[in-house]
């Protein structure tokens, strides 16, 4: 049996939550391996909607859920999300939710710095969620992080606080803010430690044991490949690697354990926040896509920018992330369009590109090359087999496969878990 790694193959918001939930019902373990609580996953299970941003999607079904070392964890948000889900009837305990002992913590001064820098950036704003994700990753790389395991050793925290304050206090002073209140930081950590520490585990041990036992492990990515700090539309990216290879480093399992890589791809394209978007539609068509697709961020509530499907970008994502097959979501949003357009290349300064140039100014200036296809008038909503789809919808899917050079494994036709056409079973591949 193969393990499965699920990643977004666009700019995030592709509908990963529903697909991960569909797969989680057949997995033994679900692992989050990068990002923080800036990732929004919406699940609809038996008519009940669950909104997750930090916890693995498997927790709703009682599947063993793991927050890996590649995550940056806000302990207070962790408590709030656990409490909220428990209030919805979800059973959560240290038996079915494990947190890596070595995961870095997002602390109040990280949120402060995130907001201060974004406010001061003017036209250079990245469009962060202001939740401290980036500054927490910076401290991890700078070897200043306070980690989950430090909560059991708060009396030994002074040397780490020295390193933190030497960095952050200078930045805060530059923004006219007072230095970090060290005593307040320690007091806040003491207050949250009793809640978080029971969940702390050496997750690399339990995951390697699960692998040896032949259990099915589902790795749940956040954001999307085009937001990857190395391979995305830099600098308008997240602060972690979002490609499938990160599942290994962010969990403690070797790269051979990544298994089938399932890229989630929306049948059109959306983006939240700043940054280049070659196929963006700032017209009534873009408005129609947004309204029909309910395109608002799960975490931030921000309206998503909408545009036609960009095959160039998805082909690029598939290549750098080693995607085995894609899950095409929100096909039903395209119902009723007389003509559909697919971007097959770009023009820039008289030259044709079959990939997105790396520099932000070039990315902002490329002109999409479109291929037009006839749409369909019939409804695809709720379709569960190829026989339920209009012929033109099937042609659209097949053309997408050809252009991105990657086969379709699943097609999602509504937020409901069962409204899924299975073409290729990732767990049986």
Question: pLDDT by residue (tens digit) across 22-66?
Answer: 888 899 999 999 999 977 777 777 778 888 899 998 899 889 999
Residue tagged 């890589």 (tokens)? 261
Kindly give the residue spans of alpha helices, DSSP state H, lying in 69-132.
75-87, 108-120
Q: Using CA atoms, how far apart are residues 149 and 68, in angstroms rounded to an integer?
A: 13
Give me the tens of pLDDT residue by residue for the chain, a chain 429 residues long. 589 999 999 998 898 878 888 888 899 999 999 999 977 777 777 778 888 899 998 899 889 999 999 999 999 999 999 999 999 999 999 999 999 999 999 999 999 998 898 887 776 666 677 889 999 999 999 999 999 999 999 999 999 999 999 999 999 999 999 999 999 999 999 999 999 999 999 999 999 999 999 999 999 998 999 999 999 999 999 999 999 999 999 999 999 999 999 999 999 999 988 899 999 999 999 999 999 998 976 556 678 999 999 999 999 999 999 999 999 999 999 999 999 999 999 999 999 999 999 999 999 999 999 999 999 999 999 999 999 999 999 999 999 999 999 999 999 998 877 889 999 999 987
Task: Judge if the upstream peptide bond of residue 155 is cis by omega within 30 degrees of 0.
Answer: no
28 is catalytic: no
**pLDDT (0 to 100) of residue 218:** 97
pLDDT digits (tens, 9 = 90+) for 364-390: 999 999 999 999 999 999 999 999 999
Residue tagged 């697909």 (tokens)? 19
Query: Does the pTM of the predicted model rise above 0.85?
Result: yes
Q: Is 295 exposed, middle or buried, given 0-12, 13-18 or 19+ CB atoms closer than 10 A?
A: buried
What's the half-sphere exposure (Cβ side, CA atoms, 13 Å) at 157? Answer: 21
Exposure string of 180-190, with b = 16+ CB inside 10 Å and e = fewer, is beeeebbeebe
162 is catalytic: no
- 408 - beta bridge partners? 326
**pLDDT (0 to 100) of residue 300:** 61
The H or E element containing residue 66 is strand 64-67
**pLDDT (0 to 100) of residue 418:** 83
Active-site residue (options: 41, 110, 167, 231): 41
Q: Using CA atoms, how far apart are residues 72 and 145, in angstroms rounded to an integer?
A: 10
Q: Using CA atoms, how far apart are residues 42 and 82, in angstroms rounded to an integer?
A: 15
Count each helix (H run) and each strand (E run) in the chain, helices first.
Answer: 12, 18
Q: Using CA atoms, how far apart are residues 348 and 344, in angstroms rounded to an integer?
A: 14
**pLDDT (0 to 100) of residue 70:** 97
Q: Calculate the CA 357 to chain-centre distance.
A: 23
């Amino acid at each position: 049996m193969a393990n499965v790694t699920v990643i977004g193959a666009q700019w995030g918001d592709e509908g990963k939550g529903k697909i991960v939930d569909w797969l989680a019902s057949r997995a033994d373990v679900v692992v989050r391996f990068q990002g923080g609580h800036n990732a929004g996953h919406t699940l609809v299970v038996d008519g009940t909607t669950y909104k997750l941003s930090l916890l693995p999607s498997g927790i709703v079904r009682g599947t063993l859920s793991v927050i890996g070392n590649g995550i940056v964890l806000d302990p207070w948000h962790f408590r709030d999300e656990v409490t909220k889900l428990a209030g919805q009837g979800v059973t959560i305990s240290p038996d079915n939710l494990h947190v890596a002992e070595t995961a870095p913590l997002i602390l109040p001064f990280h949120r402060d710095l995130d907001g201060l820098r974004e406010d001061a950036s003017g036209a250079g704003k990245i469009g962060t969620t202001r939740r401290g994700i980036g500054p927490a990753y910076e401290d991890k790389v700078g070897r200043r992080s306070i980690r989950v395991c430090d909560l059991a050793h708060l009396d030994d925290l002074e040397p780490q606080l020295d390193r933190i304050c030497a960095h952050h206090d200078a930045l805060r002073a530059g923004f006219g803010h007072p230095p970090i209140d060290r005593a307040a930081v320690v007091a806040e950590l003491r207050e949250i430690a009793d809640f978080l520490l029971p969940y702390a585990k050496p997750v690399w041990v339990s995951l390697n044991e699960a692998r040896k036992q032949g259990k099915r492990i589902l790795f749940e990515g956040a954001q999307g490949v085009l937001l990857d700090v190395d391979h995305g539309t830099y600098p308008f990216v997240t602060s972690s690697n979002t490609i499938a290879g990160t599942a290994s480093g962010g969990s403690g399992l070797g790269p051979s354990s990544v298994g089938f890589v399932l890229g989630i791809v929306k049948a059109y394209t959306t983006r939240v926040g700043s940054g280049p978007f070659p196929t963006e539609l700032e017209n009534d068509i873009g408005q129609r896509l947004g309204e029909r697709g309910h395109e608002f961020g799960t975490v931030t509530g921000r309206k998503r920018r909408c545009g036609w499907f960009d095959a160039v970008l998805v082909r690029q994502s598939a290549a750098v992330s080693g995607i085995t097959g894609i899950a095409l979501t929100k096909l039903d949003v395209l119902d009723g369009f007389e003509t559909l357009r697919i971007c097959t290349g770009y023009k820039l300064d008289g030259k044709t590109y079959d990939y997105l140039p790396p520099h932000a100014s070039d990315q902002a200036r490329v002109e999409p090359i479109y291929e037009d296809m006839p749409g369909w008038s019939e409804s695809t909503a709720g379709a569960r087999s190829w026989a339920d789809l209009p012929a033109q919808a099937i042609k659209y899917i097949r053309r997408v496969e050809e252009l991105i050079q990657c086969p379709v494994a699943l097609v999602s036709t509504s937020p409901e878990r069962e409204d899924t056409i299975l073409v290729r079973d990732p767990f049986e591949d």
